[in-house]
């Protein structure tokens, strides 16, 4: 998973943080360098006086957890198990712990027992919904830019080898955060040097005597202790509110897939408690085609869905929408909505962005198509939902200031088609959509013009391959158009995304060395933005027989949108095409 600091300009050069991270992943400290680090910074443990826990733990009462974990994690008179009672995390976090205990400490546990232990600990020693939502991108396997890293010093300690969401997915006592650092030093040879190596504000390692920049280890330890303590108001409140997931029934689905467009439909959930089965029907808002999927899922801690599903059709391409997918969803505490991702691919590179809305006895709006409307003109809008009124006046339909319903073209309980006039001076921004008593907030972007493009993902990673053992890692790009908003400045908070723009894609050379010829060898990018990497292995046609890896720009050229000079708008993203993941790490800390 690629996770970097967020750019602020519409077409930044995001390659620098990516190259820095890739470099750190392969960095090996020399003996002389390690000696310098020891002289430059105090010992990581200096000033640490705690020998045992001083905070109140969370007791463990599950008999299976006690039986499987209590042999090594000694219980106390209050029902606490050492270490375990002072940690909280996600289902993935507890699964990683069990994996490590089996590999390193000889834990004997069956697959069914492990699932039960994960369920139990995810409920009693999990995260509150409010704690889990900011880091859901990790179990969703999203390719994003991380904006939650406070500074380069913390990045150096906690996000050089894995996503920053990895530690942020945990809540630990002060003592446990220190033990986590100690564990990294014991297991990973680079960790101690990484904790001691100061970096400047650009993330560049600083050698020599300690001075302006502090050592990352102590800084990160202090930050995590304050940011992710064991006891929080959110967890106290959720522990009291937590209830079984009552999800059975019909849900409205609004989904999108990069390169495939938007979809709408229904999801029927059957079951109760923790285990469920699903049946999904989706319709493309672009061409009207229908996709059906079926699957199963389970819910941890009353809100955290993990499931699998597959389509009913044949899978003829790596990006086929019928492919078997893993599902990660975050259900709201009131169990009326959910958001998440269904993903597949050798590197989880393909996925549905999904929003669920529970169907009730009241009218409900799930989505609106098209994605956005331009000020000044007439547009046909499709309002998709459930139990929508079929007999209504134009005054019953509202899109906010400047967008006026002129004619109801058709009306059914599941879809309302309306012709609207969009005034030339309609306010730019996200407009609410309401039909009778149903309301969908910020559902309709209104824009005046497309001022600039962003290629998404802006910074990406594809992998060479060609065999069943080492499959390729593909990438689908889109060109997203933006209106600069009221302030007329690109890259500010009032900019309005107007959705995917019709564009032609091409590769551009990213100059790094004098013999750079990466665009010829890394792979093929279709005009529609789908990248297919080349095969892995030495290439005799390339200088020095190098592999087909490289760094390139992904350039989008709009087909109809123009800039102030009348030239087609362009945007570009940065892509690294690297070798396959030859090794899947046993160490869960670097598995993402």
- Sequence-ordered list of residues with C-beta below 8 angstroms from that of 196, at least 6 positions apart, any chain: 37, 38, 40, 41, 44, 215, 216, 217
Residues 463 and 202: their CA atoms lie apart, in Å, by: 27
Q: Are 410 and 527 in a shared domain? A: no
**Residue 66 covered by a domain:** no
* pLDDT the model gives residue 431: 97
DSSP lists the bridge partners of residue 367 as 384
Written as six digits, the tokens of 424 are 């030339």
Mean pLDDT of the chain: 89
For residue 459, pLDDT over 80 is answered with yes
* pLDDT tier at 335, thresholds 50, 70, 90: very high
Q: Are 131 and 172 in a shared domain? A: yes
**Residue 108 covered by a domain:** no
For residue 592, pLDDT over 80 is answered with no
* pLDDT the model gives residue 207: 75
Residue at which a domain ends, from 205, 238, 271? 238
Q: What's the 3-state SS for 267-333?
A: EEEEEEECEEEEEEEEEECCCCCEEEEEEEEEEECCCEEEEEEEECCCCCCCCCCCCCEEEEEEECC
> How many Å is the Cα radius of gyration of the chain?
26
* pLDDT the model gives residue 309: 98
DSSP lists the bridge partners of residue 3 as 144
Residues 260 and 562: their CA atoms lie apart, in Å, by: 24
Task: Compare 239 and 587 and report the one with higher pLDDT.
Answer: 239
Task: Compare 29 and 248 and report the one with higher pLDDT.
Answer: 248
What 3-state class would DSSP assign to 145?
Answer: strand
Q: Are 458 and 554 in a shared domain? A: yes
Task: Compare 340 and 1 and report the one with higher pLDDT.
Answer: 340
Percent of the chain with pLDDT over 90: 80
Q: Are 332 and 256 in a shared domain? A: yes
Give the global pTM.
0.88
* pLDDT the model gives residue 586: 53
Mean pLDDT of 502-509: 97
DSSP lists the bridge partners of residue 438 as 435
* pLDDT the model gives residue 44: 46
Q: Are 333 and 352 in a shared domain? A: yes
Q: Are 441 and 512 in a shared domain? A: no
Strands 275-284 and 261-272: antiparallel
For residue 589, pLDDT over 50 is answered with no
153-185 pLDDT tens trace: 999 999 998 999 999 999 999 999 999 999 999
Residue at which a domain ends, from 203, 238, 273? 238
Percent of the chain with pLDDT over 70: 89
For residue 427, pLDDT over 50 is answered with yes
Question: Which single residue is written with the structure tokens 């549905």?
Answer: 352
* pLDDT tier at 209, thresholds 50, 70, 90: low
* pLDDT the model gives residue 30: 27
Q: Are 234 and 286 in a shared domain? A: no
481-501 pLDDT tens trace: 999 999 999 999 999 999 999
* pLDDT the model gives residue 241: 94
State the burial class of residue 99 (Cβ atoms within 10 Å of its Cβ: 0-12, 13-18, 19+). middle
CA separation, residue 292 to residues 12, 279, 326 (Å): 39, 7, 16
* pLDDT tier at 457, thresholds 50, 70, 90: very high
Half-sphere exposure of 256 (CA within 13 A, CB side): 13
**Residue 105 covered by a domain:** no
Task: Compare 226 and 35 and report the one with higher pLDDT.
Answer: 226
Q: Are 484 and 528 in a shared domain? A: yes
Mean pLDDT of 328-341: 97
64-104 pLDDT tens trace: 999 999 999 999 999 999 999 999 999 999 999 999 999 88
* pLDDT the model gives residue 51: 65
- Do 420 and 383 meet the contact criterion of CB atoms below 8 Å apart? no
Q: Are 308 and 439 in a shared domain? A: no
The CATH number that applies at residue 529 is 2.60.40.10
Residue at which a domain ends, from 238, 263, 282? 238
* pLDDT the model gives residue 2: 40
Q: Which of 125-129, 175-179, 224-228, 284-288 has the lowest mean pLDDT?
A: 284-288
- Do 225 and 217 meet the contact criterion of CB atoms below 8 Å apart? no
Q: Are 217 and 274 in a shared domain? A: no
* pLDDT the model gives residue 21: 36
Residue 62 CB neighbour total at 10 angstroms: 16
* pLDDT tier at 469, thresholds 50, 70, 90: confident
Number of domains observed in the structure of the chain? 4
- Sequence-ordered list of residues with C-beta below 8 angstroms from that of 319, at least 6 positions apart, any chain: 259, 260, 345, 350, 474, 476, 530
Which residue range is the domain that position 320 belongs to?
249-358
**Residue 212 covered by a domain:** yes
Q: Are 569 and 433 in a shared domain? A: no
**Residue 334 covered by a domain:** yes
Mean pLDDT of 278-284: 97
**Residue 91 covered by a domain:** no
Q: Which of 298, 294, 270, 297 is nearest to 282 (CA)?
A: 294
The CATH number that applies at residue 300 is 2.40.128.120
* pLDDT the model gives residue 360: 93
Q: Are 23 and 162 in a shared domain? A: yes
**Residue 376 covered by a domain:** yes
* pLDDT tier at 585, thresholds 50, 70, 90: low
* pLDDT the model gives residue 158: 95
**Residue 293 covered by a domain:** yes
* pLDDT tier at 39, thresholds 50, 70, 90: very low
For residue 4, pLDDT over 50 is answered with no
DSSP lists the bridge partners of residue 252 as 266, 357
Q: Which of 578, 560, 579 is nearest to 569 (CA)?
A: 560
What 3-state class would DSSP assign to 341?
Answer: strand
350-366 pLDDT tens trace: 999 999 999 999 999 99
């Amino acid at each position: 998973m690629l996770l970097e600091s967020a750019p602020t300009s519409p077409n930044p050069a995001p390659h620098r943080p990516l190259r820095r991270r890739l470099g750190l992943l392969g960095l090996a400290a020399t003996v002389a360098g390690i000696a310098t680090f020891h002289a430059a910074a105090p010992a990581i443990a200096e000033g640490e006086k705690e020998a045992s826990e001083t905070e109140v733990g969370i007791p463990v009462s599950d008999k299976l957890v006690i039986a499987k974990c209590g042999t090594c994690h000694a219980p106390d008179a209050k029902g606490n198990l050492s270490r375990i009672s002072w940690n909280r995390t996600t289902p993935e976090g507890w699964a990683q712990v069990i994996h490590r205990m089996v590999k390193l400490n000889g834990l004997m546990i069956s697959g069914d027992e492990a699932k039960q232990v994960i369920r139990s600990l995810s409920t009693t020693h999990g995260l509150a919904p409010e704690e889990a939502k900011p880091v859901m991108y990790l179990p969703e396997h999203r390719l994003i830019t991380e904006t939650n890293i406070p500074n380069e010093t913390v990045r150096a300690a906690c996000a050089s080898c894995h996503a920053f969401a990895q530690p942020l997915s945990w809540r630990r006592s002060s003592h446990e955060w220190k033990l986590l650092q100690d564990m990294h030093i014991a297991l990973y040879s680079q960790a101690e040097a990484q904790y001691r190596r100061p970096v400047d504000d650009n993330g560049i390692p600083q050698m020599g005597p300690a001075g302006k920049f502090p050592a990352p280890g102590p800084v990160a330890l202090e930050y995590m202790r304050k940011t992710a303590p064991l006891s929080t108001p959110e967890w106290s409140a959720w522990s009291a509110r937590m209830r079984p997931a009552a999800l059975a029934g019909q849900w409205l689905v609004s989904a999108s897939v990069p390169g495939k467009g938007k979809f709408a439909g229904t999801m029927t959930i059957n079951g109760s408690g923790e285990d469920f089965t699903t049946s999904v029907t989706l319709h493309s808002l672009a061409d009207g085609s229908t996709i059906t999927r079926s699957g199963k899922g389970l819910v941890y801690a009353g809100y955290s869905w993990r499931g699998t599903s597959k389509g009913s059709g044949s899978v003829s391409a790596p990006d086929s929408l019928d492919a078997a997918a893993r599902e990660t969803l975050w259900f709201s505490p009131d169990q009326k909505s959910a958001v998440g991702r269904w993903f597949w691919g050798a590197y989880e590179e393909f996925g549905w962005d999904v929003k669920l809305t529970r169907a009730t006895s009241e009218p409900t709006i799930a989505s609106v198509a098209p994605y956005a409307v331009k000020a000044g003109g007439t547009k046909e809008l499709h309002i998709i939902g459930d139990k929508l009124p079929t007999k209504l006046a134009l005054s019953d339909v509202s899109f906010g200031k400047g967008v006026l319903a002129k004619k109801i073209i058709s009306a059914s309980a599941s879809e309302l088609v309306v012709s609207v006039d969009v005034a030339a001076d309609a306010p730019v921004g996200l407009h609410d959509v309401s039909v009778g008593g149903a309301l969908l907030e910020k559902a309709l972007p209104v824009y005046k013009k497309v001022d600039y493009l962003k290629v998404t993902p802006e910074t990406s990673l594809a992998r060479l391959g060609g065999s069943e053992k080492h499959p390729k890692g593909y990438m689908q790009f889109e060109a997203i158009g933006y209106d600069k908003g009221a302030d007329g400045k690109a890259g500010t908070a009032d900019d309005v995304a107007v959705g995917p723009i019709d564009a032609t894609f091409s590769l551009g050379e990213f100059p790094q060395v004098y013999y750079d010829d990466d665009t010829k060898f890394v792979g093929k990018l279709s005009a529609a933005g789908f990248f297919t990497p080349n095969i892995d292995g030495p290439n005799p046609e390339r200088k020095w027989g190098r592999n087909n890896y490289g760094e390139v720009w992904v350039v989008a050229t709009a087909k109809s949108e123009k800039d102030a000079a009348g030239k087609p708008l362009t945007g570009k993203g940065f892509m690294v095409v690297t070798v396959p993941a030859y090794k899947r790490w046993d160490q869960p800390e670097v598995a993402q």
